[in-house]
Amino acid sequence: MSTPRRGGPAVGGRLALVAVVGALVVGLAVPNWAGLVGVVLVLVVGVLVDLLLAGSVRGLRIERPDDGVQVRLGESLAVGLVVTNSGPRRVRGELRDAWPPSCGASPEVAAVDVPVGERRRVTTTLTPGRRGEHAADRVTVRSWGPLGLAARQVSTTAGGRVRVLPAFASRRHLPARLARLRELDGRRATQVRGAGTEFDSLREYVDGDDVRSIDWRASARSTSTSGASGATGNLVVRTWRPERDRHVLVVLDTGRTAAGLVGTGQAAVPRLDAALDAALLLAALASRGGDRVDLLAHDRMPRASVFGARDPLPAMTAALSGVEASLVETDMAALVATVLRRASRRSLVVLLTGLDDAVLADGLEPLLGPLLHRHTLLVAGVADPVVTAMAAERGDAAAVYGAAAGQVALAERRDVAARLSRRGVEVLDAAPDDLAPALADRYLALKARGRL
């Protein structure tokens, strides 16, 4: 491939060892300039011989057969390189397939031995520690001469990208929620009658049906058309099913608050990751429930969006893989304007955000009118277990002052939630681990109440 190549010679530890031995020989046996020159000559000749006899690295063709692969965060993936030796000599040495540090490439350096005219596959295992789009860096090959004193080295690019998808740890909550969804689907008409449920069909009354579901007008019509069998004619009941084909728009706030780490130690995750996990669970659930799910990630401008995808979960997973929080204040006006523009039909708008200061409420409150007029708004906040723990701490003065500060923070959250609730916004406030199932449950509850 026509890629820029950079390289040159390299020397080995063996050359340094030879030089040290040479120094001892000079010091003990030939302590004069001739000894020094002799050592220099030995080193130079050794290096020249090795460089001449080393397999040519420029004759190597390095290709990456599988490009643009995907892996879920927390899992491993083997990526391969095919090294073809079209040079005149065997190439023996090392190869480094360099990836960004967070990709966790292993082994860092692999041994290669490619005879003339043959090719070998070199496999590197990636265990990424961070989601996103990662591109491979250079591939470097070092080919040693027969003496092991010096080598030829070249760095080249062979392409290669890996997309690290979000871990979607809340997948484990999906089966239970799907069961609840099916339950909802199969509910008797009587149990789900109410605003927003959809009329499904008319059928004849059978024993056990709620008498309240009898459609008297239809029964009368049915009796009259079926002739003279009299008053004991067919009773017709209406059946209902949960609403379907509703729209759910998940909006991720990727601004300043999303960058904060919540939780302690190993369990600490950025708010964005917790929100993203919840968004994926909601998308999986809603798409199985027959609803359309769209996605928008927004801070000062849209960062990612998925609209009208036939299979929203993979599309959203891919779109969200590269989304990171930015250290800017979210522009709520722009966010709401985007939502109003993109969500043409009545939707459940789920805004996943921090919910931890008045800035959010101040920014959102004046914009609620048109939003609530057309849509149902659910604001889900990621709480910080650290603050909750601080608020409960006792013992010494430092702990009690910490508890006071924690209480202030919690009170602020309550205040924001209360302000939004008063305006008719659905509010959910949960710790990062509980957010995904709590949001799924709230969605199911809204669906059952016909609020979508």
Partner 1 sequence: MSTPLRARWRRARGPVVIGALVLLAAVVLTVVGTRADRGLLDPDSVDPAGGAALVALLRDQGVRVDVADRPDALAAADPGTTVLVATPDRLRRADLDTLARSGARMVLVAPGSRPLEALAPGVRAGAPPPALLTTESPDPSCPVPAAVAAGRIDTDGDVYEVTPPAVGCYPQGGTAALAVSGRTTVVGSATPFRNDALDHAGNAALTMRLLGAGPRVLWYVPPVLPDDTAGPTPLVRLVPPGWVWGGATLLLAALVTALWRGRRLGPLVAERLPVRVPAAETTRGRAGLYRRLGARARAAEVLRDDARRRLAARVGLSAHTPAEALTAAVVAAAPGYDPAAVADLLYGAAPPDDRALVVLAGALDELRGAAAGSGRVPAGRGEDQG
Binders of partner 1 in range 295-354 (CB under 8 A): 324-325, 327, 354
Residues whose CB is less than 8 angstroms from the CB of residue 227 and which lie 6 or more positions away in sequence, other chains included: none
Helices (H), ranges, 290-365: 312-320, 332-342, 358-364
Exactly one of 73, 139, 343, 420 binds partner 1 (CB under 8 A); that residue is: 139
Question: Taking CB under 8 A as the rule, does residue 130 contact partner 1?
Answer: yes
445 near partner 1, judged by CB under 8 A: no
Alpha-carbon span 355 to 345, nearest angstrom: 26
Residue 130 has phi, psi (to 5 degrees) of -155, 135
**Among 96-104, 180-188, 332-340, 372-380, the segment contacting partner 1 (CB under 8 A):** 96-104
Q: How far is the CB of 19 from partner 1 (least distance, A)?
A: 3
In the complex with partner 1, which residue's Cβ is closer, 35 or 290? 35
Measured over the CA atoms of residue 101, residue 106, residue 111 and residue 112, the dihedral's sign is: negative
Non-local CB neighbours of 342 within 8 Å, separated by 6+ positions: 249, 294, 296, 305, 307
Q: Tell which one of 250, 262, 279, 332 touches partner 1 (CB under 8 A).
A: 262
**By three-state DSSP, how is residue 215 classified?**
coil
Residue (382 or 440) nearer to partner 1, CB: 382
45 belongs to the binding site for partner 1 (CB under 8 A): no
The minimum distance between CB 237 and partner 1, in angstroms, equals 36
Q: How far is CA 317 from the centre of its chain?
A: 6
The single residue among 77, 82, 98, 178 that binds partner 1, judged by CB under 8 A, is 98
Strand residues in 320-384 grouped as ranges (E): 347-353, 376-382
- Kindly tell me which of 61 and 342 has the beta carbon lying closer to partner 1: 61
DSSP bridge pairs for 63 = 82
For the stretch 293-324, what's the b/e string if a residue is b when 16 or more beta carbons lie within 10 angstroms of its beta carbon? Answer: bbbbbbbeeebbbbeebeebbebbbbbbbbbe
Q: Residues 207 to 246: which contact partner 1 by CB under 8 A? A: none
Among 189, 319, 387, 446, binds partner 1 (CB under 8 A): 387
Neighbour-count burial for 11-38, b at 16+ CB within 10 Å, e otherwise: bbeebeebeeebeeebeeeeeeeebeee
Crossing angle of helices 33-53 and 13-28, in 10° steps, is: 160
- Please select the residue that binds partner 1; options are 91, 162, 297, 390, rule is CB under 8 A: 390
Beta strands at 426-430 and 376-382: parallel, antiparallel or unpaired: parallel
By DSSP bridging, strand 69-72 and strand 161-165 are parallel
How many angstroms separate the CA atoms of 137 and 279, rounded? 32
CB of 101 to partner 1, least distance (A): 6
Say what the alpha-carbon torsion angle 328, 337, 297, 319 is, to the nearest 10 degrees. -140
Which one, 94 or 331, has the nearer CB to partner 1?
Answer: 94
Q: C-beta of 436: minimal distance to partner 1 in Å?
A: 18
Q: Is residue 51 close enough to count as binding partner 1 by CB under 8 A?
A: no
Helix (H) or strand (E) holding 140, with range, is: strand 139-144
441 is a site residue for partner 1 (CB under 8 A): no
Piece of 36-44, 174-182, 200-208, 433-441 that binds partner 1 (CB under 8 A): 36-44
CB of 254 to partner 1, least distance (A): 11
* 405: Cα within 13 Å, side-chain hemisphere: 9
Size of the site for partner 1 (CB under 8 A): 80
Q: Does 145 contact partner 1 by CB under 8 A?
A: no
Q: Min. distance of Cβ 381 from partner 1 in angstroms?
A: 11
What backbone phi and psi angles, to 5 degrees, belong to 424? 95, 15
Q: Binding to partner 1 (CB under 8 A): which residues in 395-434?
A: 395-398, 400-411, 414, 417-418
Tell me if 255 contacts partner 1 by CB under 8 A: no
Note if the bond before 107 is cis, omega within 30 degrees: yes
Residue 58, interface with partner 1 (CB under 8 A)?
A: no
Residue whose CB is less far from partner 1, 291 or 356: 356
53 lies in the binding site for partner 1 (CB under 8 A): no
Decide whether 104 or 290 has the Cβ nearer to partner 1: 104
Q: Which of 5, 89, 90, 138 binds partner 1 (CB under 8 A)?
A: 138
Q: Minimum distance between the CB of residue 406 and partner 1, rounded to whole angstroms? A: 6
Report how far residue 15's alpha carbon sits from residue 197's, in angstroms, rounded to the nearest whole number. 82
Binding mask 355-374 for partner 1 (x = CB under 8 A): -x------------------
According to CB under 8 A, which one of 85, 155, 219, 317 is a site residue for partner 1?
155
Q: Name the segment binding partner 1 (CB under 8 A); options: 174-182, 293-301, 331-339, 393-401.
A: 393-401
